[in-house]
Amino acid sequence: MIDYRSDTVTKPSQEMLKTMITADLGDDVYGDDPTVNAFEQKMATLSGFEAAMIVNSGTQSNLCALLAHCGRGEEYIVGQGYHTYLYEAGGAAVLGSVVPQPIKVQPSGELAFADIEAVIKEEDQHFAKSKLLSLENTHCGKVIPLDYFVKAREFADKHNLDIHLDGARIFNALTELKIELSDICNYVDSISICFSKGLGTPMGSVLCGSKTLIDKARRIRKMVGGGTRQAGITAKAMDYALDNNVPKLINDHQNAKLLADLLSDCNELTITEPQTNMVYINLDESINSELMAKLLLQEGIKVSVGQTLRLVTHLNIDKADIIYTADTIKDVLNLISEALQQ
Ligand SMILES: *Cc1c(COP(=O)(O)O)cnc(C)c1O
């Protein structure tokens, strides 16, 4: 099965599993796991922050960050399509009494500074307190350039806001921008990074920030049941992914481009040129997306159903799979249009 639903479907490789079982372990809630400690130190150094903390998932990482930055009655300004607003079950509001202030996301994936400025609240008893700007890179596979973060920092300083960056796929962005993690982290107050997406670990994310922020976040992680014991098993996988799978992300980007190119002559498809590992395809309204997904599944290709298809390339999809997929999609489209003509 070639699974394009997400890069979260990647499975740990044999080599990753082999290194995991060699991890030196201890109880991480006591701060005793040497593999976790070394990996957190490595991530702190790499990001240029004072501290880092491993977490079970990206959602837990963002929750810890939002609650560490904002208290009750304080608000974070966020894109309405960003993960920290839309896809985390309202966790910051439910568990932290933190108020989300969603705003429109630009086609580039950025937030317009004028839009942010328009919702920043002045000191007044009627209003929640504007505290944090929550950004995202990549957003829907789109890369936000370094220059935006330089401007965002200047803007945030002027308005007394912290910046959290949901960098679930930051290494995809860095691969395209050809810059280091610390280059972007210079301009934000915290970053969350997922390792269980394109980097292929079975679980795990990392939150990086100042020592004060991460100390606060550690208490919140414990509160939401995220303190794990012999966590070095997952830290070892993340460490492996950092060294071995980050350099492979470029393949996923090339595969996405190849898939888009191979399908570019299909009249029924409108394809957005991919910037990283996501190919967005709008299906002509004559194409029944449910039928198309069913026919593709019969040929061993799994996609999410929708009039906009999001095909995500990852570690477990190679160039031969891409060529097979393009051929199969063309066959299926022909089949559907022949059926329509009868
Ligand atoms: C997947 C994702 C997350 C959350 O990750 P989980 O590990 O699935 O909780 C956060 N932000 C973005 C942009 C993501 O794509």
CA of 267 to the centre of ligand 1 (A): 33
Domain enclosing residue 134, as ranges: 10-244
What percent of the residues of the chain are helix, what percent strand, and what percent coil, each to the nearest 5?
45, 20, 35
Q: Which of 87, 164, 203, 224 has most ligand 1 atoms within 8 Å of its beta carbon, as the pocket-test mutant?
A: 87
Residues 171 and 67 in one domain: yes
Residues 298 and 226 in one domain: no
Q: Is the CB of 88 under 6 A from ligand 1?
A: no
Report which ligand 1 atom has the smallest distance to the Cα of 60: 9
Model confidence at 295: pLDDT above 90: yes
User: What's the CATH code of the domain at 273?
Assistant: 3.90.1150.10
Report which ligand 1 atom has the smallest distance to the Cα of 136: 13
**Each residue of 157-202: pLDDT tens digit?**
999 999 999 999 999 999 999 999 999 999 999 999 999 999 999 9
Percent of the chain clearing pLDDT 70 (strictly above): 100
Asked whether residue 227 is assigned to any structural domain, the reply reads yes
Q: Is the CB of 257 under 6 A from ligand 1?
A: no
Beta strands in the chain (DSSP E): 2-3, 51-55, 74-79, 99-103, 129-136, 162-166, 190-194, 205-209, 269-272, 278-283, 301-302, 308-312
Q: Which of 172, 191, 194 has most ligand 1 atoms within 8 Å of its beta carbon, as the pocket-test mutant?
A: 194
Q: What is the mean pLDDT of residues 125-134?
A: 98
Measuring CA to CA, which residue among 137, 135, 140 is closest to residue 107?
140
Residue 334 phi/psi, 5-degree rounding, is -60, -45
Model confidence at 341: pLDDT above 90: no
**Each residue of 248-287: pLDDT tens digit?**
999 999 999 999 999 999 999 999 999 999 999 999 999 9
- Give the pLDDT confidence score for residue 252 in this predicted structure: 98
CA 321 to chain centre: 24
CA of 84 to the centre of ligand 1 (A): 9
Q: Is the CB of 59 under 6 A from ligand 1?
A: yes
Residue nearest to atom 8 of ligand 1 (CA): 58
Q: Is the CB of 194 under 6 A from ligand 1?
A: yes
- Give the pLDDT confidence score for residue 340 in this predicted structure: 83
CA of 59 to the centre of ligand 1 (A): 6
| Residue 189 token pair | 């107050």
Q: Is the CB of 57 under 6 A from ligand 1?
A: yes
Residues 305 and 174 in one domain: no
Which of 211, 244, 277 terminates a domain? The answer is 244
CA of 27 to the centre of ligand 1 (A): 26
Taking the CB of residue 334, how many other CB atoms lie within 10 A of it? 12
Residues 103 and 30 in one domain: yes
Asked whether residue 5 is assigned to any structural domain, the reply reads no
CA 217 to chain centre: 19
Residues 202 and 59 in one domain: yes
CA of 2 to the centre of ligand 1 (A): 21
Q: Is the CB of 33 under 6 A from ligand 1?
A: no
CA of 338 to the centre of ligand 1 (A): 40
188 and 162 Cβ atoms separated by less than 8 Å: no
Model confidence at 215: pLDDT above 90: yes
Q: Which of 82, 83, 277 has most ligand 1 atoms within 8 Å of its beta carbon, as the pocket-test mutant?
A: 83
Residues 282 and 318 in one domain: yes
The mean pLDDT value of the chain amounts to 97
78 and 84 Cβ atoms separated by less than 8 Å: yes
Q: Is the CB of 168 under 6 A from ligand 1?
A: yes
**Residue 184 β-bridge partners:** none
CA of 10 to the centre of ligand 1 (A): 14
Residues 91 and 66 in one domain: yes
- Give the pLDDT confidence score for residue 224 in this predicted structure: 97
User: What's the CATH code of the domain at 27?
Assistant: 3.40.640.10
Domain count, the chain: 2
Q: What is the mean pLDDT of residues 92-109?
A: 98
**Each residue of 16-29: pLDDT tens digit?**
999 999 999 999 99
Measuring CA to CA, which residue among 235, 234, 208 is closest to residue 44?
208
- Give the pLDDT confidence score for residue 148 in this predicted structure: 98
34 and 26 Cβ atoms separated by less than 8 Å: yes
The pTM for the full model equals 0.97
Residues 95 and 232 in one domain: yes
| Residue 157 token pair | 């300083």
Task: Give, in order, the Cα–Cα distances in Å from 237 to each of 32, 38, 175, 196, 261.
Answer: 18, 13, 20, 10, 34
Taking the CB of residue 41, how many other CB atoms lie within 10 A of it? 12
User: Distance (Å, rounded) from C-alpha 172 to C-alpha 100?
Assistant: 27
Measuring CA to CA, which residue among 145, 143, 191 is closest to residue 168?
191
Beta strands in 214-258 (DSSP E): none
- Give the pLDDT confidence score for residue 247 in this predicted structure: 98
